[in-house]
Structure 1
Amino acid sequence: MSSSSSHSETCQAWVDGVPGEYGYKPSLAAGIVLSSIFGLSMAVHIIQACWKRAWWTNLFAIGALVELLGWAGRTWSAVCPYNKDAFLMQISTLIIAPTFITAGIYVILGRFIEFAGVKSLLTPKQYLWVFCTCDVISLLVQAVGGGMASVAVSETNGDTKPGTNIMVTGIIFQMFSITVFVACAADFLRRLVRQNLLHLLTKEMRWLLIATTASVVLIYIRSIYRTIELLQGWTGYLITHEAYFVALDGGMIAPAVMVFNIIHPSSSFTHGRPEKPEKGGELRNSMMEGPYIEMR
């Protein structure tokens, strides 16, 4: 998909019949809209994190920031369709941005477990370390693959296959990590139901649980799409038709991060946690009987 050198150095208008790096001219409207959405989400997340002093929720702000950079790159590409810097900017950021959002989701599950005091397959800290480590590995693999593929795309007759395969490996590993995480989350909910502890979840927590589930599903759909897209190669049908990218990448990640602006995690964990179950399995709710414990 490499364009001729005459179109790579300057900001030149789209020329019919002269393909750029994308195989099409990126939509200016899509770039502006999604850049605005992610920019707004990032700003609100930063304000919410500072207001609530819930600094860990800045993971969502970072995810939105990286998405903003990626869609800014695509907006740049809409104005300068043959600019390789803009192309490299968007490809290197949009592939890794969801990693920061999933990291925040891992913390949320840990907070639920810590609040309920229910045994899970892993401790809250272990969830954070295990799955965040998986995310870092996935991020590094995707970044290396993306860098290799980007360099190959910018070269005449460059071979993008090695870099693409590495990127796909990183995405598949991320999907596997998310799948294991979902299984652990499902096991936690099963334990809550079996021990009749669902009543411990406040209205805010139930909404957060729904929001988290929706975010995971959206990120999972996006991961499936990107896997299929990259497996088809840089001249495949999906990667050369922008509508799929806008709908199944930006259209999935935008609500996946904005849902936590609407239902902010810190609002659900301000009442403290219940005491651990006693030997007979009975649980006394410390929200009524004991001091509140700030969980930030």
Structure 2
Amino acid sequence: MTASTSLRLVLLAAASSVALAASADVNTATTADGERIIAGYTPSVALSCVGIALFGASTVALWLEWFRTGRKRYMLTLNIAMICMTVGFILRIVYHSNLDSLGGYIAMYMFLLLSPCAFLAHNYLMLSRLSRAMGPDATSCLFLPAHHVGTIFIWSDVITFWMQAAGGGLTAVDNPSLVKAGKYVALAGLCIQLVSYLFFTSLLIVFYSNVRRRHAHLAHPAQPFRFGAHKFWSNSMVYDWRTLVWVVLLSCVGVITRSAFRIVEYSEGYYGKLATSEGYFYLLDALPLWLAMTLYVFFYPPRFIEGARELEQVSSTQYALENGGATVDRYTTESSEKTSRAEERGPIAGFVPKQAPSVVAAALYLLSTCSMWLSFHRTGRPWWLVVLPIGMTCMVAGFVLRFYYSMDENATKLSVYLPFYALLLLSPCTFLATDYILLPRLGRAMGEEVAKTAFLVPIRFLLRFFIWSDVTTFFIQMSGGGLMAAGSSKMSNLGTKVMLVGLVAQTLSFIFFTVILVVFGLRVYRNHMHLVRPTEPWRPTRFNPLAAAPVSDWRLLYWILVVNCVCIIVRSIFRTIESAQGHDGYLATHEGYFYMFDALPLWIAMTLLAYCWPPRVFDGLTLVDGVSPFSNRHVAFAHVGRTPEDRRAMVYGEIGDEHDGKGWAPEPVKLGTYDSYRH
């Protein structure tokens, strides 16, 4: 990322965090003058000084080591993050003298909350650097490409970071329901970040175990590490890689402790017990991080990484001498053999995709995506629906990468195959999430009576259940994809089975959702006839898909959801059968079936939502005082003095027309601002 992008990211996170702190919970802490204490408590100057002393000392030691050991650039991540943590504690003292200062709180909170993200990134880089320094024997013990380990996990952090930022953005509005939803979104980001780091820790443990089990020459170094003989302040190389692995594992314990604490603290709210009791912050956040990162002062990673690299070079040279002074080392030879075997196997996908269908699919999805983004901006940017255009954008990227993969030189490259396969397989999860979001909103928009009586399950549980189901099956499929990328046939077969489990669970969950949708429609038609025939029904000849005008006919969105479900179920069944046949099965190696039963149904389903942008329907259902305008006397609902019983009577026609001539008129509606959770 560029410097400007990183700066925007940091500022957004700071603003989001402050928004959460300002609005998510009730803050009763005040100064002696009656001013509100934004943090919810008064920070201790003494404890802040201790934090400055400890983090400052470790920071100075790390910089001294950096200059003494060749100024390795990959260590700058840790060094700069330690400076930021020290600055955070200094700003904590500054904030103590001005407890109602929003600017002081932002600066302090930003440094102490965001700096540890760099600690995670540092550990990601350590595993990647060490495995590559040890040579291909070691990198083969990872079930992810060694040169992508840092990139994959760092991008995982970036994605979860944006989730937290998005959740914080939702809390900046005045609507309590959106504030609550924002809190859950940000909390989900923290949870996924912890899961990602636990996955990394598992990868580190598997790496250590595989190296010890598979490669005896690496498992037992000629110069093993001895604690009593280790010179902590020396710049000499250390030839035992196992020590660095244990140091990274211990630092993982500190980071996981801090992450778990932050999740519990966040779930309680910004003014919960953990957030307003300073001792917990130092015991479960600052102290574990300081211990984790200070380990690198005494066991400075470049000493171990360069030692491993030197051993690998010596081993390669010895191999060359034993084979008649060959100039090519054994790893180059093995790499050439692997390349030859890859060429003999042919394309990773089992076939070379045709370029023309990829171009056509990318063009069709791009048109629908552009229409969605245009409607998104024209209807007031309804952030609760942003998952749909983002998913479509990912599908476009998937087809572009599929076209790139179809070039002859890329057909055998795993690094090209995995991104396009993952995008085309996992992006549709956002389409399922879109349907899960729209149905409960439609029920609420049609009135409290419909919301209470037309659903098989309570509407308040509907969205949570299916979104969590979607998230769970998403991670199962992602885990299966990771195992498939391991390279060995055993791990690939296991990955296929794991992915099949995720697809089956996702299909069953969505079929259950479809049953709920159908029952909803039947109950509305049977029990709520006054809602079935709106006064302004939808007519194709008079409908403008690119307009932002409200649409009051709920049936249009309902039948689009029904068609969506049919298309998505067709796609899910196809993917399940394809996965059951295996990676080299008939369906997987004949791309015509992919376009017929996957790409086309999904495009039809999502293009219908682009045709009838859902916020237009919700705006049309709430033109007047939050009540559906299905009666030609709906203007009477704008009268503030009417009771709910009177309004219901006006809908059912139980009150005459004597009230209709008093000049009441609907209030102006700002499009895209409707939130069904208020009604």
1:7–1:82 Cα contact (<8 Å) kept: no
**Pairing 1:141-156 to 2, within 5 Å after superposition:** 141-149=476-484, 151-152=485-486, 155=487
- Out of 199, 202, 206, the residue aligned to residue 532 of structure 2 is 199
Q: Which residue of 2 aligns with 1:126?
A: 461
Q: Distance in 1 between matches of 2:605 and 2:644?
A: 34
Q: TM-score, normalised by structure 1?
A: 0.84
Residues 525 and 532 in structure 2, CA contact (< 8 A), matched pair in contact too = no
The Cα of 1:104 is off from its aligned counterpart by 1.1
1:250 and 2:599 correspond: yes
Residue in 1 that maps onto 2:413:
83
Moved over 4 A (4+): 275-278, 288-294
* Matched residue, 2:432: 102
| Structure 1 counterpart of 2:384 | 56
Other-structure match for 2:613: 264
Gaps of 5+ in 2: 1-336, 539-552, 629-636, 638-642, 653-659
Q: Distance in 1 between matches of 2:569 and 2:338?
A: 36
Aligned equivalents of 1:173, 1:228: Cα separation in 2:
13
d(CA) in 1 for partners of 2:385, 2:489: 43
Aligned counterparts of 2:571 and 2:383: Cα–Cα separation in 1: 27
Q: Is the 8 A contact 1:56 1:104 kept in 2?
A: no
Shift of 1:83: 2.4
Does the 8 Å contact 1:69/1:89 carry over to 2? no
The residue type equivalent to 1:5 in the other structure is T
Distance 1:168 1:18, change over 3 A: closer
2:545 equivalent to 1:212: no
Give, in whole Å, the separation in 2 of the partners of 1:139 and 1:261.
Answer: 24
Residue equivalent to 1:170: 502
* Correspondence for 1:295: 674
- With CA pairs under 8 Å and 6+ residues apart, which has the higher RCO, 1 or 2? 1
Which of 508, 513, 517 is the aligned partner of 1:185? 517
The SS at the match of 2:587 is coil
Cα 1:235–1:186 change in 2 (3 A) is: same
Distance 1:174 1:82 in 2: 30
Go from structure 1 to structure 2 and tell me whether the alpha carbon gap of 1:277 and 1:76 turns closer, same or farther (over 3 Å shift). farther
Question: What does 1:6-17 correspond to in 2, within 5 Å?
Answer: 6=340
Tell me if 1:34 matches 2:361: yes
Aligned counterparts of 2:338 and 2:357: Cα–Cα separation in 1: 26
Structure-2 change in CA distance of 1:206 and 1:4 (3 Å): farther
For structure 1, the 5+ residue unaligned runs are 9-14
Q: State the Cα distance separating 1:116 from its structure 2 match.
A: 2.0
Q: Which amino acid aligns with 1:216?
A: C
- Asked whether the 8 Å contact 1:116–1:200 carries over to 2, the reply is no
Instruction: Determine what percentage of the aligned residue pairs are the same residue.
Output: 26
Give the conservation status (yes or no) of the 8 Å contact 1:101–1:257: yes
Amino acid at match of 2:456: L
TM-score of the aligned structures, taking structure 2 as reference length: 0.39
| Offset, 1:157 | 4.2
Task: Give 3-state SS (helix, strand or coil) of 1:269's partner.
Answer: helix
Larger Rg: 2
Larger mean CA deviation between 107-116 and 193-202 belongs to 193-202
Amino acid in the other structure paired with 1:178:
F
> How far did 1:31 drift?
1.3
Aligned to 1:224: 573
Closer, same or farther: CA 122–282 of 1 in aligned 2, 3 Å:
farther
The structure-2 alpha-carbon separation of the partners of 1:110 and 1:51, relative to structure 1 and needing over 3 Å to count, comes to same
